[in-house]
Amino acid sequence: MTDTPVSGFVAPGFEPVREAFEANFASGEEQGACFALRIGGETLVDIRGGWADRAKERLWDETTIVPIYSATKGISALVLAMAVESLPAGYETPVCDVWPEFVAEGKGGVTIGQMASHQAGLPGFESEIDPAIWLDPPICAAAIAALPPMWPPGTAHGYHPLTWGYMLGEVVERITGRTVGAILKEDICGPAGIDFQIGLPEKDEPRVGDMLRPRTLAPLGNLTPERRAAFVYKWSSPDRAGRTWREIEIPSANGHGTALGVASLYEAYARGGTVAGGKTLLRGDTLEALIRPRVDGPDLVLPMPTKFGAGIMINNHGSFGPNPETLGHSGWGGSMAIADPARELAAAYVMNRQSSSLVGDPRAARLVEAAYGCL
């Protein structure tokens, strides 16, 4: 179907997934990409194809990693859930109980659950800042803590594309004394051999694929103040390239890994809190609190209704497959990870040619549709 080099493993009966993967290349939509599917704790698809670099000189192989942008949130939400297990009130704990500075500007009643479900009213900086502070997480977290909310917290929700991760990272570190990236490395990914990191060491730099930015802006609709703060201003985000951006920890945006690594972590949502390798991260009641719908309806930042648990998106838009209860998250440019508890299914798609899709990139959606068609 395509002259693009494709390699990896496809279990018998799942050949249509490979065909859909090759079709994405044949249509000219891909540079390099990878897709992984696990069901019942078993890897059924782990395929990759194309090139890791712009010049098409370096094949995308089993060691290639790329940033997955906001699909990182679903993984960071698991680490937050692990941290809140130690709190008597769990997600209902006010943020300021663990992070006293957050009380500023009337935010004393904001709970950790509200913060995690995009209800805090802090989607970005309305007034100009030096974008360099995004590259200094403690400074950035302090600046976010000092902000007045853009809507009364708890009365509405609006997606927090970047600030979410700085708040979550600060809360996790205040509770545990460790960073999200350290917990992932030391307690989860390292022991299980899962290829995913938040905070990329220099030794892994040669494995990172070149990202080809989208050619058009995402369709945001009417540019409200909330959307401008979140996405539009020249200070709304850092330069998302370079060594500094990759080595710091941004739990909302800069996780790096393979598709199999991402799917292996999202498997916790599909298999009762247990990730690939057999480690159980969460008690059953904590997982239930994490995935329980906390908001469902109009989003003040994204131009669509959204439905969130405590940091994980719920499939009200149908982009994560046929089950409306499937959990997942998309990332800037098209990356996507999903978990369907009804089938103990976890899947992830990562790539380096970014599109302007906000949720449910068509390339990923085709792969998910093909996978379900094989069941």
Flag whether 196 is in a domain: yes
End-to-end, the C-alpha distance of the chain in Å comes to 23
Point out the least confidently predicted range of 9-23, 321-335, 353-367. 353-367
Structural domain boundaries enclosing 218: 6-77+179-373
Structural domain count of the chain? 1
Helix (H, G, I), strand (E, B) or coil at 155: coil
Mean pLDDT of 34-45: 98
Over residues 13-31, the mean pLDDT reads 97
| 338-359 pLDDT, tens digit each | 999 999 999 999 999 999 888 8
Q: What is the rounded distance in angstroms from the CA atom of residue 120 to the CA atom of residue 105?
A: 12
Q: What is the rounded CA–CA span in Å between residue 352 and residue 69? A: 11
* Residues 58-70: tens digit of each pLDDT: 999 999 999 999 9
- Residue 240: predicted pLDDT: 78
Which pLDDT does position 2 carry in this prediction? Answer: 62
How sure is the predictor about 242, in pLDDT bands with cuts at 50, 70 and 90?
confident
pTM: 0.97
Mean pLDDT over 137-157 rounds to 98
* pLDDT for residue 357: 83
Residue 134 has pLDDT above 70, yes or no: yes
Q: Residue for token digits 């890897």? A: 43
Q: What is the DSSP string of 48-88?
A: EEEBSSTTS-SB--TT-BEE-GGGHHHHHHHHHHHHHTTST
Q: For residue 127, what is the DSSP state?
A: S
**Above 70 in pLDDT, residue 174?**
yes
Arithmetic mean of pLDDT, 52-80: 97
Q: Is residue 260 part of a domain?
A: yes
Strand order in the sheet with 305-308: 6-10, 42-50, 32-39, 345-351, 336-340, 327-330, 313-314, 305-308, 295-298
CA distance 203 to 224: 42
Residues 38, 57: Cα–Cα separation, whole Å: 30
What is the CATH classification number for the domain harbouring 280? 3.40.710.10
Tens of pLDDT, residue by residue over 274-320, are 999 999 999 999 999 999 999 999 999 999 999 999 999 999 988 99
Q: Indicate whether 312 belongs to any domain.
A: yes
Whether residue 156 lies inside any domain: the answer is no
Tokens at 7, concatenated: 């390699």
The answer to whether position 113 is within a domain reads no
Q: What is the mean pLDDT of residues 42-59?
A: 97
Per-residue pLDDT, averaged over 235-248, amounts to 90
What rounded mean pLDDT belongs to the chain? 96
Is residue 1, in this structure, part of any structural domain at all?
no
210 located within any domain: yes
Residue 217's pLDDT band (boundaries 50, 70, 90)?
Answer: confident
Q: Three-state SS string across 359-370, please?
A: CCCHHHHHHHHH
Rounded CA-CA distance 154/120 in Å is: 7
In a domain, 239, yes or no: yes
User: Average pLDDT, stretch 122-133?
Assistant: 96
Instruction: Return left, alpha or beta for 306; rule: phi > 0 is left, psi -120 to 50 is alpha, else beta.
Output: beta
Q: Residue 196 CA to chain centroid, in angstroms?
A: 12
In angstroms, the Cα distances linking 121 to 5, 154, 281, 343 are 46, 8, 29, 35
Q: Which of 174-183, 220-229, 237-246, 306-315 is predicted with the least confidence, judged by mean pLDDT?
A: 237-246
- pLDDT of residue 1 exceeding 60, the answer is no
